[in-house]
Structure formats: structure tokens, C-alpha cells
Amino acid sequence: MSSPPSGAGGGLGWANLGMDIVSVTRVRRLLAEHGEAIFHKMLTDGELADCRVDVGLEPLGLCGRIAAKEAAFKTLRVRDRVLPWRDIVVRRSDGGWPVVELRGTAAELARRAGIAEITVSISHDVDYAVAVAAPVPHTAPPAIAPLTTPPTASASTRA
């Protein structure tokens, strides 16, 4: 009989990818049933501002932020902890890509895991938003030597 997985983390921090997907239908239902108040429990004022359009909160933007927070939390490989929603902050950079800021409990969990920061990518479609997160360790993984390009035949015959 095989033993169950230990669930005790996943090795070196840089190998612990996180991924999450969030349904637009579910977020729209939450907005309809609870209004914006429910999202104040998960998102900071700045995050909500990034998701705001003329008619209110944009569901795809909310989905992307929620998926990114979940994906970032998964990179920490902790058990028996509730996601510290407002301690993982996902903002839009000046260039438009998402940036993760870790605060409070999330920053402490990352420090213990040897993670300096978390990078994330978010993608949206009509019905879903998905995010993939990768931790950046305090100590970078071993450097890989750059590839060299062999000289072309014409370059080697010029001499």
C-alpha cells in the first residue's frame, strides 16, 4: 500500500508555481447578491480602483485579481492557513502588467519560505480569468551559462 503525499511543501521556492482560475459568472453573482462590500474583504482600495469603470466594478478585473492572489498564495506552500487576502496586493504597473506586493502575514510566510517576491501573469477571457504565479527566491537558482552562437560559414572563411 502506498503512503499518501506528505503535503509538506514543494522543494526549492523557485519551483513552487501557483495557478488559479476564477469564473466571471460566480463573481457577477457575488456582486449581484452582496454588492461591492464583499470585495472589500478581499481587495484593497487600490486594487478596487484598478477594477473600477464608469458603471462600477469590472467583473473580469475582479476575477483576475482574485485568481492572482490565490495563485500567489499557492506558491508559499503553507497548510492550515487561510489566504491573507488583503496582505497579497495585486496592482497594475505603469506598463500595464500585474505586480504583486506582499504585506503582513503574506510577507512573513514568504520570508519563511525563502521567497523574496512573487511574479504573476493574468489572462482574461469572456467567462474566466486565470493567473499563474512564480516565486522569486532570496537566493537565485544557479545561473545557466548563456548560449553561444557558432560562427557562420561565411564568417569563418573571411580570415
- Tell me the binding residues: 20, 70
Q: Which residue type is seen at 17?
A: L
Give the chain's end-to-end CA distance (angstroms, integer): 68
Question: Do 114 and 77 meet the contact criterion of CB atoms below 8 Å apart?
Answer: no
Cα angle, residue 78 at apex, residues 121 and 140 outer, rounded to 5°? 55
Question: What residues form the annotated binding site for Mg(2+)?
Answer: 20, 70
Q: Quick one: which H or E segment has residue 132?
A: strand 128-137
Kindly give, in sequence order, each residue whose CB lies less than 8 Å from that of residue 38, ignoring residues fewer than 6 positions away: 30, 31
